[in-house]
Amino acid sequence: MHLPMHLSVPTLLFLSSASASAIPSTLTKPSRPLPLIIWHGLGDNYAADGLVSVGELANETNPGTYVYNIRLDEDPGSDRTATFFGNLTEQLAQVCDTLAVHPVLSLAPAVNALGFSQGGQFLRGYVERCNNPPVRNLVTFGSQHNGIAEFQACAPTDWLCKGAMALLRVNTWSNYVQSRLVPAQYYRSCNTSTGEPTPEYLENSNFLADINNERVLKNTKYAANIASLNKFVMYLFKDDTTVIPKESGWFAQVTNLTSGIVTPLRNRAIYKEDWLGLKKLDEKGGLVFRETKGGHMQLSDELLVKVFKDFFSPVGGKGKEAEEIVMQDSDSSGEL
């Protein structure tokens, strides 16, 4: 099932302004599902048919769920264009401003969040930079949390994609590309011997180096906001050939793409020194690693229903131990 974006708005609003004032700041056992915000991936748009089905499934699983599909333009075609072209810092600021004053979302005590592909790390950026309304549970599918080492291939007739990828390969670290081409802003160039980021990336990355707190000066707000989550669930696609390396979906670092040597998240400085609050979240049982079979964004209704039940139901995620997936093969070891 390919995932793209929009949902008809339920007629019953989540909260009225009168009832919102009576809700305590600390959410305990809500009587109805929290609103669900969804951010789609590269080449999709908020009104695409696939996401209509996702929203309907969310409501069937947890009746009364208010679903909002993040968009950068009300015109679906322009929203799709914005997945390739735009400044991510400005796009994220726009989303933060929109959600903060949304007539339904702004009244909710919290929201749940579901991110598909690049929409996953954008939602994480939302949590880090603004988080208003605050996210309770964040679930990402095939997201490039540790960046990409290669740009994706385009469909033969997708000229918008082809044009973007052609520009990306000209000069990835130029100000022009970093302020205009979306995938370039989560590209991460590394030393092929160590897997550590290159100086060009740390100096010029417009988005990923910042939201991953990889620069010398750390933003403590980012770590505090991630640690405030109840659950951060990262799904990796076992046969993903679109996100390279696929282990980026678990914040793992691949030292060498040829050998496939992987440094799991818990063995990296980003975790040990807790640049993002992931260690603190993990210690309270909130960091969840899951793997699903299939290629990039190949999802079944059964899997989505399980996610909705486990993490987006009124009591989803409460009292559960963090789950882990341990990938064992000849080229990787340890927990990702």
The residues that are catalytic are: 117, 240, 296
Dihedral sign of CA atoms 250, 255, 258, 260 in order: negative
Q: In 31-181, which ranges are continuous DSSP H helix?
A: 49-61, 76-81, 88-100, 118-129, 159-168, 175-178
Please give the C-alpha separations between residue 70 and each of 41, 84, 92, 102, 126, in angstroms, as whole numbers: 11, 15, 10, 11, 11
What does the alpha-carbon distance between residue 218 and residue 235 come to, in Å, rounded to a whole number? 27
Phi and psi at residue 230, to the nearest 5°: -80, -45
- Residue 46 CA to its chain's centroid (Å): 15
* b/e per residue 92-130 (b: at least 16 CB within 10 A): bebbeeebeebebbbbbbbbbbbbbbbbbbbbbbbbbbb
What does the alpha-carbon distance between residue 132 and residue 315 come to, in Å, rounded to a whole number? 21
DSSP 95-112: HHHHHHT-TTGGGSS-EE
**Helix H or strand E encompassing 115:** strand 111-116
- Which residues, other chains included, contact 286 with Cβ-Cβ below 8 Å and sequence gap of 6+? 229, 230, 231, 232, 322
Dihedral sign of CA atoms 291, 292, 293, 294 in order: negative
Region class of 164: left (phi > 0), else alpha (psi between -120 and 50), else beta: alpha
Phi and psi at residue 250, to the nearest 5°: -110, 15
